[in-house]
Structure 1
């Protein structure tokens, strides 16, 4: 990866890491549903002119129903769930739970598309879910004031992301990414329009909350998606997918520096287990390619004599 692409890669991770911070700032005044509704509306408004100028509008219209539907699974509902979660748990913890998307993605692809994982990927799935259990076990209290529902909201959002990924692979492959991205954000906007109006706050919204939700829409959604697809084209999906490992780092840093959130050794350790599981489950970490495995094909050590 060239220095320029590496810089764009880090910038993308910083944008997605900041999304949890912006969602929290906006949701404190707008509420979770309105935060998600305004975020997708802003992002769709930014991308729609680009779609019209790109020549991919016809591709969107040909598959509009499915693209609009997947927007609820891939943006509308998950954004609302994460906005709800960050009101109760730290942005860093939310980002770590968000990093389980590839784990659920591999599981859904196995159950729905029949993409059976190999032994190392299966181990990664198991390891990743063990990390999630360890991270969440002392937070899964559903009593008043507990954070169990917030943790479940995060995991529910990641499951929806995973279902949307398999749905896209099954029904929307070969369509220009700008068409599916913009169309899905438009679908999320339409799907959340009425809930957003019904849950709109009665008190005036401060400029800081408007700025936060606008930043989430323009920077962390519209710009981030464009950058993501550019990196896939330039560096390949495997390398681009490793951005998953950096997003929690930025989210933890933002939360600690700007919100005073604590970063505990337990959180870091469980996050490392989850990241290892994600690496194995997605094939980013492949022990089958390691030199140690190839040593097994060399002559036995007993065949060598020292001098």
Structure 2
């Protein structure tokens, strides 16, 4: 990679490891729906004018059904459910669970007409990765049933993140990425608006919560996606997808150092197993597990 691509990669690793921490801060005053709507709407306000100026928004909207499906799978469901789950899960725990996206892509790809041979290496990777989830879930059993509600929300979010790029690969492969993303942000914002209004705070949120949502929308969504598109073109999708292996470490580090979250041996072993399993399961795969920012 060139030095610019290398710097972009490093910046994205940090930017996409931060959302779990920021969501935790925003949850003090805001509902999950408000957080998800706020970041999506801010990102739309930035990316839609850019897409319009480049002339890629209108052509993308000729594929409204696929763009809407992508908006629900990649934006509405994950952004809302990650914030919902973090009401009971630590930010570091959440970041590690989201790292199972590559494993999930391999499992559900055949449902979208993407058929690849499940060789011994990839099967071993799946087994190792999901064994890591089992190890990880042995960490926080003290939270009782609410822990499992949070875990369930995270796993549905993982499914959404996995389905999103498969929709792109199957139905939006010839559509400009920026145009499709800008259109999906608008649709996602409209879909979440009623829920955000219904759960709006009765008092003015703190500056910490508002700044957290602003950073989520402007930096972790809009700017990060622009950088991600640049990285794909500069270094290729395969190298760009390696960001997914660094994000959980950044999320865990922030959770431990800033929020004083517990991070024991189970979390460390689970994280290593999940990342190693994802690497094995994704080997020789043509799937592009791009993420629209957590």
TM-score higher than 0.5: yes
Give the secondary-structure state (helix, strand or coil) at the position aligned to 2:204: coil
The residue aligned with 1:206 is: 206
Residue by residue over 1:49-101, the C-alpha shift from the partner in whole angstroms, topping out at 9 and shown as x without a partner, is 10011110222221123212321110112111111122211111111111111
Q: CA deviation at 1:152?
A: 1.2
Q: CA deviation at 1:226?
A: 0.9
CA distance in 1, matches of 2:246, 2:16: 9
Residue by residue over 1:227-247, the C-alpha shift from the partner in whole angstroms, topping out at 9 and shown as x without a partner, is 111111110111111111110
- Highest CA radius of gyration, 1 or 2? 1
Select between 210-219 and 128-137 the one with higher mean Cα deviation: 128-137
Q: Which has the higher contact order (CA 8 A, sep 6+)?
A: 2
The residue aligned with 1:79 is: 79
CA distance in 2, matches of 1:168, 1:57: 16
**Contact 1:123/1:280 (CA < 8 Å) preserved in 2?**
yes
The residue aligned with 2:59 is: 59
2:235 corresponds to 1:235: yes
CA distance in 1, matches of 2:207, 2:142: 34
CA distance in 2, matches of 1:125, 1:174: 30
Provide TM-score, normalisation by structure 2: 0.92
The residue aligned with 2:4 is: 4
Q: For structure 1, which runs of at least 5 residues remain unmatched after alignment? A: 286-307
- CA RMSD for the aligned pairs? 1.7
2:283 corresponds to 1:274: no
- 1:139-178 matches, within 5 Å, as 139=140, 143=144, 146-178=146-178
CA distance in 1, matches of 2:142, 2:218: 35
The alignment of Structure 1 onto Structure 2 pairs a total of residues equal to 284
CA distance in 2, matches of 1:11, 1:80: 25
**Contact 2:61/2:180 (CA < 8 Å) preserved in 1?**
no
The residue aligned with 1:300 is: none
Q: For structure 2, which runs of at least 5 residues remain unmatched after alignment? A: 286-294
The residue aligned with 2:119 is: 118
- 1:8-157 matches, within 5 Å, as 8-116=8-116, 117-139=118-140, 143=144, 146-157=146-157
List 4+ stretches of structure 1 deviating above 2 A.
116-119, 137-144
Residue by residue over 1:3-55, the C-alpha shift from the partner in whole angstroms, topping out at 9 and shown as x without a partner, is 32111101001001111111111122111111101110111111011001111
**Contact 2:125/2:276 (CA < 8 Å) preserved in 1?**
yes
